[in-house]
Chains A and B, each alone.
Chain A
Amino acid sequence: MSEEREKELFELLKNGVIEFEEDQVRDAAQAVVDEGIDAVKAVFEGLVAGMEHVGELYEQQEYFVPEMLMCADAMYVGLDILRPHMEGRDLGITGVVIMGVVQGDVHDIGKNIVKMMFDVSGFEVHDLGRDVPLETFVEEQLRTDADLVALSAMMTTTMVGMKDIIARIKEKNPKARIMIGGAPVTEEIADKFGADGFAEDASNALKDAINMLTTLKKIQEEEEYGTA
């Protein structure tokens, strides 16, 4: 398979995500499969590269949440076609993540965008959905021995519930890492609540997901090579 053809298809995937052209992404992903091109490479150099650019556009206030949702839809069209061809491949990251929107909050757009990045990066994601009772986070963490618990809240009125969840999880499993995010969350609040990580640009930003992934990679590397 020629390198040029690869590049061409990856470019189509990337731009299809950025321009939320679902048909273009579908066709290019199918071509990757049909022509026997490396699906993992297509995901990372096509879909993920596209979403990274979307993140930049969000940061530059070119794109806002509705645009990002449409990009995410396009990304999933591609991922659904490519994922069956990625099985058994080492994606560079391993880990189990529990995520959910805390009880009292039914806004899950931000969580879904972050979830997408975990999905695409090969994490085992346990999505608890929205309006999730405190107890469920604690139980699920214990049940799955997840490395990371990601909590989301869209409203000030529900953000406060995170504090209890963090304390309860830490009490039962001090090793679990907890990251929080959502519109009202600030770094100061993350500190006060005892979270290990904080998705900085709180409002459903893709950048947060990428930040989280980078942080996680670092954590994993530290664990792998020892931090001494």
Chain B
Amino acid sequence: MNLTPKERVLKQLAGEEVDRTPCYSGMGNVTVKGLDELGYKFAFVHGNAEKLANLAATSYKFYGYECAVVPFDFCVEAEALGSEMNPYEDVAHLLYPTIKEKAIQNDDELDSFPIPDDLANAGRVPVVVDAIKRLKKEFGDELPIGTYLTAPFTLGGQVYDLDKMLKYAFKKQDLINAMLDRLADVLISLAKIYQEAGADYITVREMGSGTDLLSPRLWKSLIQPHLTKIFTALREMGFPNNLHICGETNMIIKNMYECGADSLSVEFKNDMKKTREDIGFEPLVFGNLDAYKLLVIDDVEDVEKAVIKSLEDGVDAIWPGCDIWPEAKPENFKAMVEATKKYGAEKWHRKQK
């Protein structure tokens, strides 16, 4: 079997047999090396489709990472709904954009906040769409083109006060659920827009919902229904997908699986062996490398060991558990991809039978 990265990734997401685990992710993977080679500054790429596309392809070009993913920040959806983003253009060191002004200021708008009629042209959505089209044109035959969305609860914290949202999750849960349901509809519309632009797969990131923050009980009543709605819609539109959650996820892994995503991804705080005990070996689970420590701090020799351990613990793709921090050491990044090529069949649980 001689597969391109695109075939490997998409066949696997469709549940077909592939030669080895891919090494990729559905999240940011831009590096300082990529920025330097192109002469870009991180703060200035987010609103520029050409720069987004060029930069998104660099980790494939330099290291053989098996995807190109846009955007790189977590503000696109919130901006489309009226939040204001801060790209930190005046800060010398590299920062990810944040939201400085939230779209929903009044509680009585929670279940009725305005949604633009033309989402495809709201905020930076057209920039992301353009970047996807550019990537598709240049790399569409060989590389899977990925994009992501911040899921309803995470997005909620980007359009409305997070403190209040967490408290209302207890005191006014119906209201918060109405807001999250409305956000889920927005996200489904955005997914359609990205799919039409040519994205091959989509990651839905409920970043702030691990059990570091929320109880499994609250997860089930507040997070799960909206994710289920989104993944049902993605399945109907035939859009290959992944559900990603950061932080501690072992207590909710069964619920995550019930949401109906094609694949799940988790970070290093997830005990993968325990995950396999809980949901078995059939579901596709990606992860769970420590994206920061392994690629930025550790020595290059540590990388191969970590890749082998993830495979032996039961992952289906070597997938850093978070956006790759741009200061990733080039030699570590390369070693991660090479170790996956070397051991991605031999040590993979699906090849053991």
Q: How far is the CA of A164 from the CA of B327 in the complex (A)?
A: 14
Judged by a CB distance under 8 angstroms, whether A92 is at the interface is no
Taking the closest CB of chain B, its distance from the CB of A190, in whole angstroms, is: 12
Bitwise, B310-327 to A at CB < 8 A (1) or not (0) is 000000000000110101
CB neighbours of A66 from chain B (8 A) = 166-167, 169-170, 213-214, 218
Q: How many A-B pairs fall under 8 Å by CB?
A: 85
* Cross-chain contact A64 with B213 (CB below 8 angstroms): yes
* Cross-chain contact B218 with A64 (CB below 8 angstroms): yes
Q: How far is the CA of A5 from the CA of B319 in the complex (A)?
A: 60
Smallest Cβ-Cβ distance to A104: which chain B residue: B95
* Cross-chain contact A203 with B212 (CB below 8 angstroms): yes
Q: How far is the CA of A105 from the CA of B96 in the complex (A)?
A: 9
* Cross-chain contact A189 with B166 (CB below 8 angstroms): no
Q: A106-B99, A157-B325 are in contact. Are A184 and B292 (CB under 8 A)?
A: yes
Interface residues on A, range: 35 or more
* B 154-187 contacts with A by CB, 8 A: 162-163, 166-167, 169-170
* Cross-chain contact B211 with A61 (CB below 8 angstroms): yes
Judged by a CB distance under 8 angstroms, whether A210 is at the interface is no
* Cross-chain contact B212 with A164 (CB below 8 angstroms): no
* Cross-chain contact A156 with B322 (CB below 8 angstroms): yes
* Cross-chain contact B323 with A157 (CB below 8 angstroms): yes
Q: How far is the CA of A22 from the CA of B247 in the complex (A)?
A: 31
CB neighbours of B96 from chain A (8 A) = 104, 155, 157-158
- A positions within 8 Å CB-CB of B: 61, 63-67, 69-70, 73, 103-107, 109, 112, 131, 133-134, 155-161, 164, 183-184, 186, 188-189, 192, 202-204
Q: Can you add 14 more A-B contacts, CB < 8 Å, to A67-B215, A157-B325?
A: A66-B166, A66-B167, A67-B170, A70-B167, A104-B95, A106-B100, A109-B163, A131-B98, A133-B91, A156-B291, A186-B293, A188-B297, A203-B212, A204-B212
28 examples of A-B residue contacts, CB within 8 angstroms: A61-B215, A64-B213, A64-B214, A65-B166, A66-B169, A66-B214, A69-B163, A69-B166, A69-B167, A70-B167, A73-B167, A103-B91, A106-B98, A107-B162, A109-B163, A157-B323, A158-B96, A160-B296, A160-B327, A161-B95, A183-B212, A183-B247, A188-B297, A189-B297, A192-B297, A203-B212, A203-B213, A204-B212
